[in-house]
Amino acid sequence: MSYLELHQLETHFTKMAGNLFSPRKEIIRAVDGVTLSIEKGEILGLVGESGCGKSTLSRTVMQLIPATSGSVVLNGESLTHLSTSQIRKRRLDFQMIFQDPYASLNPRMTIFSTLAEALYQRHPNLSNKETYDRIIKLMETVGLDPAVMKKYPHEFSGGQRQRIAIARALAPEPKLIIADEPVSALDVSIQSQILNLLKQLRADLGLTMIFISHDLGVVRYIADNIAVMYQGKIVEYGEAESVFHHPQHDYTKRLLASIPKLPAA
């Protein structure tokens, strides 16, 4: 049994279509029968073009939206069958990192308050001293100078804000991190720093991660295995280098062809 297993997972949305006189319901099969397994400490890269269902799949795994059918099993426990209150408790075990850290950080909260709030979710009774010590450690873990803990998000660059968002995700000691396009809004030079940080965290903390991107080149850099998603389905899965060098599916070949090539020096 793998650490995280998705069995025939489906998430459908209904949308009203047609017109006023002949309305009809249209079903959007955002996630359409996904079966995947992830080992503990693995980084799975999930890649596909915009609209193929990557974010919906991640939110379904996190139990933020209910699955239409199928199951999510973490460490032998089916999450799809938990009650709402059980899910609320489990939610600390899964943390997300998003594309836009500025939107996901509260602009009125200092880094200290943001991280303290995240720490208290798991450890509500931390003393001031313990909180302070843990925040210093978290900031060091993500490569931020603890001296800036009293600053606000707008005082940081995009890359630093993403480091803050990563520190916040780590604070409740999650078992699984889903990073949804975490470097897509960053300059290329900053992208590799954040990718290296995530790799380092996996090595140091043994994190299990689903790393989502529309860019196969980025996913190849960080992932152990790659799942290629197309119209709600996984059309190709395999070890990262083998998917990159020997893609089987036409869609993967097209994704590969769309990676910008550096001009020859």
Looking at the Cβ atoms of 60 and 162, the one nearer to ligand ADP is 60
Query: Looking at 4, 6, 30, 170, which residue binds ligand ADP (CB under 6 A)?
Result: 30
Element (H, E) at 95: strand 94-97
The two three-digit tokens of residue 162, written as one number: 């993403």
**Is 28 a binder of ligand ADP (CB under 6 A)?**
yes
Q: Which residues bind Mg ion (CB under 5 A)?
A: 55
Q: Which two tokens stand for residue 243?
A: 């998917």
Interacting positions 54-93 with ligand ADP (CB under 6 A):
54-56
| Complete edge-to-edge strand list for the sheet that includes strand 77-78 | 23-38, 4-18, 69-74, 77-78
Q: How far apart are the first and last CA of the chain?
A: 48
Nearest to 52 by CA among 148, 169, 180: 180
Is the CB of 51 or the CB of 206 nearer to ligand ADP? 51
53 binds ligand ADP (CB under 6 A): yes
Asked whether 28 and 17 are in contact (CB, 8 A), the reply is no
Which residue from 18, 26, 35, 51 is in contact with ligand ADP, where contact means CB under 6 A?
51
**CB-nearer residue toward ligand ADP: 52 or 96:** 52
Could you tell me which of 12, 16, 36 has the C-alpha nearest to residue 26?
16
Task: Give the residue closest to Mg ion by C-beta.
Answer: 55
Chain residues in the site for ligand ADP (CB under 6 A)? 13, 15, 28, 30, 48, 50-56
